[in-house]
Structure 1
Amino acid sequence: MSSYRTSLPWRIVVGIADYLDARIGWDKLPLPLGLGTLLGLRVRYRQENLHDTNKIPAVNVPEPVPPKDSFKVNRTADGSYNDLDQPRMGMAGTRFGRNIPLDKIASATPADVLSEPNPRKVSRELLTRDTFISADSVNSLVAAWLQFMVRDWFSHGPSPTDRPWTVPLMDDDPWPEQPMQIMRTPDDPTRDPHAPAGTPDTRVNVFSHWWDASQIYGSTEDEQRAMRTGELGKLHLWDDERMPFPSDPAKDPSRVPGFWLGLALMQGLFTREHNAICDHLHAAYPEWDDEELFERGRLINAALLAKIHTVEWTPAVISHPTTVTALHTNWWGLAGERVHDLFGRISKSEVVSGIPGGETDHYGVPYALTEEFVAVYRMHPLIRDDWELRAANDNTTLRNASFRDIAGPEALKVLGSISTTDLLYSFGTLHPGLVTLHNFPKFLQEYERPDGHLQDLAATDILRSRELGVPRYNEFRRLLRLKPAARFDDLTDNPQWAKQISKVYEGDIEKVDLSVGMFAEKLPKGFAFSDTAFRIFILMASRRLNSDRFFTEYYTPEVYSKAGLKWIDDNSMVSVLLRHHPELRTALTGLGNAFAPWNVAGQE
């Protein structure tokens, strides 16, 4: 069992962290104290906010294929055998975990899910974007990157078409159908039909839970084989090397809900990066065959994605000095990047030398992503409604587009008419939206799915958290040992918003939905989303590294190769962009983080 649960020094650290956070707040402390407080909070959350849904009786659980020796050094397509002693852990088709006690999972009866205010009312009155509120410290690659990551991390799978939730509408609602229908989340196929009444509800993740770049490589052996060329470890690049997707309409991912231009750009960029890694490995190890090059390339690419997310994307969207340092510490430890580059790990401690290359630890609970992690990543306000697509060389406007014009199959038309370099430049010089109230993209409130079904994603986000038993805002905070809001004025420093929320929730602060409370919060300095959401990140961002042996004890030259580990060390989002799009050099000159606003052509 991890020493985090037993040692007296850690219990003291946790106690002090709880006290300082409650009395002052981690974000208001000097940097050293702030770092110590976040460390203590992480330990506390590891102790008390990891809960195993596999304890609930299950049937027909997915079975891994028989073990192979190669599984010791290669990631499997479905995520099995990451933990060699528990090969099912984290594989595709296994249950989401929870960050709340299982007996605190709310019921998903119609009375709860459709309780007043119903999700459509919340969407219309509290989430609708009247004026775009921008997050000026970052660029729109932040939004593209997030969905690219989500496509690797989690999906509840396609919704069944029977038994939709029916949401009654107000008389003045312009929605074309009465009532509104929102499809249900698929049931857990492993749930025991004979489970006693009151057994907490569970769902499964159709992707692997691991940070393994499955959005590039697929989650099954068949998907993976279809992506590979069979030569030098490389992947197919579709449409004259623009996108890594097959042209067969039956397999067209542009018709999968959620596809848009930003996702396509990231997918294409890191498919090219995989192939560049394979070229590098082939030059360093010419005796390696296609299989060896592919497997090492996948490991390296996945680790590079994890590094970029940890030390670039996340510090960009929560750019408080304490969180930036804490996130860099997750990867390099307090010793820092320079010491890592010169000497490698100088200590077994993750605090000193970072998580990669350290010890694997599940903290007493089998690894899985959680429903609460899914809930706090519902960040659709990041998406703009209006997109001015401009040329990288002189900033001239090539096209003004709505989000509808760059979503679904329409995105492929844009990719075919404007160069990828210019599209990346446009994203890099446009701000995303702030994750806050009254800033939900209009297009996503009237989103037509590829199957023709009309959907209000703002209402759907509210309904999903209720349906999946994620607590309402105040209860969520209590379960993280945070002070709940006693009054609506405690929710936000915007008096008008406080009145609006009170009116919508009819004066009952305990009914306020999690997303509404988080979107209303006053943000810590440099944050693009709420401190309440950040509490789940404190726990889960490091856990995804700690539990994965390919980021811990197997993060070695013997598994990755010396050339592979050096590639990860030497590269960043900036270097990836410039390798494949050197025309962006002027736009990226002087930037330490590619998710910060880029230089605009023609401006001094």
Structure 2
Amino acid sequence: MSTAPRGSGRRSDPRQAGDAPSPFLALYNRLMLAVDHRIGWQNLPKPLGLLTLLGLRNILRRQNLFDTSGYPSQDLPDTGPPEARHRTERTADGTYNDLDDPRMGMARSRFGRNVPPTAAFPEPEPEILSPSPREISRALLTRHTFIPAESVNALVAAWLQFMIRDWVSHGQGSMDRPWQIELADDDPWPASPMPVARTLPDPTRPANGDGLPPTHLNENSHWWDASQLYGNDPAAQQALRSGTDGKLRVPHNGSLFPDEPERDPAHTPGFWLGLAMMHLLFLQEHNAICDRLRHEYPGWSDEQLFQRARLINAALIAKIHTVEWTPAVISHPTTIAALRANWFGILGERVHKLLGRISGSEVLSGIVGGRTDHFGVPYALTEEFVAVYRMHPLIPDDWSFRSAADNSLLQEATFRELSGPYAYDILRKHALPDLFYSFGTSHPGLVTLHNYPKFLQEFQRPDDQLMDLAAVDILRIRELGVPRYNEFRRLLHLKPAEDFASLTDDPSWAEELRRMYDDDIERVDLMVGMYAEPRPKGFAFSDTAFRIFILMASRRLNSDRFLTRDYTPQVYTQTGLDWIENNSMTTVLLRHFPELRSSLRSVDNAFAPWKAS
């Protein structure tokens, strides 16, 4: 084990000084920021909107990436020099993606930041508990009537959690010294105060104070490597493999681990039917890739087939998220073009497929297959990234399951009946084509105030702890040192809300917010402000959250060697690259569930509402 005090949290490495933008580029960036402030990217014609977003991303890359791995560290895992296999295979724990910095992005490495260290300290008590997260939950978040997001289908909610399980986890927290939320006299909660587990501290930080904000470890690999399917350590990965033809084990009517409940994902908070469906779909997709590879390369071993199939499956998932899921949930014409350009470049998919990369420019030919670039800051997902992805309003409380054959009603259920081990009951009762059809023909919730799932406000975890997840979301963002709404906007180069009337276009909400925050606009929580603010056309969530997406959606691609310089036939095989480029969420669904063809023929994007049978 090593001890590595490495100085304070730098924004960038020494090369940044040599990478200062040219006077022209600096002027362009400032101009685009001024245009965004005065007009708004969303109000411009698409070409001008794209130019504005490009300038905003340039600024965010230079000013909103902060490295926490440079904070003093101890007891870091030892890593030796890369082996030959590391050059062509993803490791189970995310090590060796960057061959010069093997620990970068690995499981149990630190979250980075998008705000400077001076802004990343959590507030002290009692300020951190004010206003009461529980009262915010009751007064501002409680769903009285379901507000649907009508531009998308409920698969977007299942997909998002499927992605979150790959990207981020702070662990289960500790109840040794829980937060204590005092409750109002009229609160029906069973007992006061309400205990909330504290996020686990970073064990790699020395105990002595260093004047820097706290850090926390990500239990998952930071890379876009489908670790939710493949595990985050060699033992977990081995348990998920069949040992034959490179394939993964596929559960039938229940868990992969009926005799090992500690491994069963149903016993982890957050497990539900939608998540299980996505796992089953992409387990089968991995195995279909193995079948194709075995046909093309009959002499390959189980290990060779597994490693190539994992690369291909993970990249396909990243592509689906980039060019289908995200454009569906933020379906403004400008953002659709911008997000697809991350993968294909602004020259578009047709040129990409016909000619491949015709330029080293990520703007013209996309990020994928280009050069790897960390923009001077070691790669990590960030606490701010986690904060803006708290989108539980996507989940409806009430669900209807219908037949894909004739749209007949099979069952109505509450979200409680879809969560935890109950998900297995639904899977045993209904065929997967009917479940996917039911999700595809129903809507998720809009990410807005007064639309938080009631079930999650009285959520009983597998360990029997009762929690109000809305209150926990509020407290967790504060605890992790993410600034409140107005300061967050300032640090992301946005204008702060001047008052409550300018924060939201709903006068009744403005008054509710004013009362809750005692007329102090600076105290509004980030999540509350994002839920309250007006959304651009086609957005299921806020423009403030989108600023983190502008930066981090491309960074997850730019930094990953397997999605940039090693996105080649030599690493993936030509068969693998063709599989990625020629497939989509629609083709994945139809490969495994051809019964969905008549419903999917009505949509260009599988996350748009499907036509009922």
TM-score between the two structures when normalised by the length of structure 2: 0.96
- The answer to whether the 8 A contact 1:57-1:195 is kept is no
Determine which of 201, 209, 212 is the counterpart of 2:214: 201
2: CA distance between counterparts of 1:248 and 1:412?
16
Question: Would you say how many aligned residue pairs link Structure 1 and Structure 2?
Answer: 598
Q: 1:444 to 1:200 in 2, by over 3 A?
A: same
Does residue 567 (structure 1) correspond to residue 579 (structure 2)? The answer is yes
2: CA distance between counterparts of 1:351 and 1:66?
34
Determine which of 488, 495, 500 is the counterpart of 1:476: 488
CA RMSD of aligned residues (A): 1.2
Determine which of 114, 127, 143 is the counterpart of 2:129: 114
- The answer to whether the 8 A contact 2:256-2:264 is kept is no
- The answer to whether the 8 A contact 1:428-1:597 is kept is yes
Determine which of 331, 347, 350 is the counterpart of 1:338: 350
2: CA distance between counterparts of 1:250 and 1:52?
34
2: CA distance between counterparts of 1:566 and 1:238?
28
Residue type matched to 2:225 in 1? D
Residue type matched to 1:43 in 2? N
2: CA distance between counterparts of 1:157 and 1:481?
31
Structure 2 counterparts to residues 39-438 of structure 1, below 5 A: 39-64=54-79, 67-115=82-130, 117-196=131-210, 198-239=211-252, 248-438=260-450
Residue type matched to 1:302 in 2? A
What secondary structure sits across from 2:413 in the alignment?
Answer: strand
**For each residue in 1:381-404, what CA deviation from the matched residue of structure 2 results, as whole angstroms up to 9, or x when unmatched?**
000000011111111111110000
Does residue 461 (structure 1) correspond to residue 473 (structure 2)? The answer is yes
Residue type matched to 2:441 in 1? T
**For each residue in 1:188-226, what CA deviation from the matched residue of structure 2 results, as whole angstroms up to 9, or x when unmatched?**
111110123x42111110111000000000000001111
2: CA distance between counterparts of 1:73 and 1:244?
28
1: CA distance between counterparts of 2:408 and 2:128?
48
Q: Percent identity at matched positions?
A: 62
**For each residue in 1:319-371, what CA deviation from the matched residue of structure 2 results, as whole angstroms up to 9, or x when unmatched?**
00000000010000011111111111100100000001101000010000000
1: CA distance between counterparts of 2:259 and 2:282?
19
1: CA distance between counterparts of 2:573 and 2:456?
44
Q: 1:396 to 1:300 in 2, by over 3 A?
A: same
Q: 1:247 offset after TM fit, Å? A: 5.1
What secondary structure sits across from 2:328 in the alignment?
Answer: helix
Structure 2 counterparts to residues 17-28 of structure 1, below 5 A: 17-28=32-43
2: CA distance between counterparts of 1:246 and 1:190?
35
Determine which of 456, 464, 486 is the counterpart of 1:452: 464
- The answer to whether the 8 A contact 1:429-1:599 is kept is yes
2: CA distance between counterparts of 1:112 and 1:360?
42
What secondary structure sits across from 1:163 in the alignment?
Answer: strand
- The answer to whether the 8 A contact 2:602-2:610 is kept is no
Q: 1:65 offset after TM fit, Å? A: 5.8
Q: 1:86 offset after TM fit, Å? A: 0.5
1:538 paired residue number: 550
Residue type matched to 2:161 in 1? Q
- The answer to whether the 8 A contact 1:360-1:552 is kept is yes
1: CA distance between counterparts of 2:560 and 2:311?
12
Residue type matched to 1:237 in 2? V
Residue type matched to 2:224 in 1? W
**For each residue in 1:268-289, what CA deviation from the matched residue of structure 2 results, as whole angstroms up to 9, or x when unmatched?**
0000000000101111111211
- Structure 2, gaps ≥5 residues long: 1-14
What secondary structure sits across from 1:172 in the alignment?
Answer: coil
2:8 paired residue number: none
Residue type matched to 2:202 in 1? D
**For each residue in 1:505-543, what CA deviation from the matched residue of structure 2 results, as whole angstroms up to 9, or x when unmatched?**
010110000000000010000000000000000000000
1: CA distance between counterparts of 2:243 and 2:560?
28
**For each residue in 1:288-335, what CA deviation from the matched residue of structure 2 results, as whole angstroms up to 9, or x when unmatched?**
111111111000000000000000000000000000000010000011
2:597 paired residue number: 585
What secondary structure sits across from 1:110 in the alignment?
Answer: coil
2:538 paired residue number: 526
2: CA distance between counterparts of 1:352 and 1:85?
28
1:594 paired residue number: 606
Q: 1:245 offset after TM fit, Å? A: 5.4
1: CA distance between counterparts of 2:102 and 2:437?
43
2: CA distance between counterparts of 1:595 and 1:19?
34
What secondary structure sits across from 1:137 in the alignment?
Answer: coil
2: CA distance between counterparts of 1:407 and 1:390?
19
Q: 1:160 offset after TM fit, Å? A: 1.4
- The answer to whether the 8 A contact 1:244-1:267 is kept is no
Q: 1:123 offset after TM fit, Å? A: 0.4
- The answer to whether the 8 A contact 1:578-1:585 is kept is yes
Q: 1:246 to 1:85 in 2, by over 3 A?
A: farther
Q: 1:178 offset after TM fit, Å? A: 1.2
Residue type matched to 2:313 in 1? N
Greater mean deviation of Cα atoms: 361-370 or 1-10 = 1-10
What secondary structure sits across from 2:400 in the alignment?
Answer: strand
TM-score between the two structures when normalised by the length of structure 1: 0.97
Q: 1:104 offset after TM fit, Å? A: 1.1
Q: 1:243 to 1:311 in 2, by over 3 A?
A: farther
Residue type matched to 1:229 in 2? S
- The answer to whether the 8 A contact 2:255-2:264 is kept is no
2:568 paired residue number: 556
Q: 1:62 offset after TM fit, Å? A: 2.9
What secondary structure sits across from 2:376 in the alignment?
Answer: coil
Q: 1:55 to 1:82 in 2, by over 3 A?
A: same
Q: 1:230 offset after TM fit, Å? A: 1.2
- The answer to whether the 8 A contact 2:122-2:482 is kept is no
- The answer to whether the 8 A contact 1:164-1:181 is kept is yes
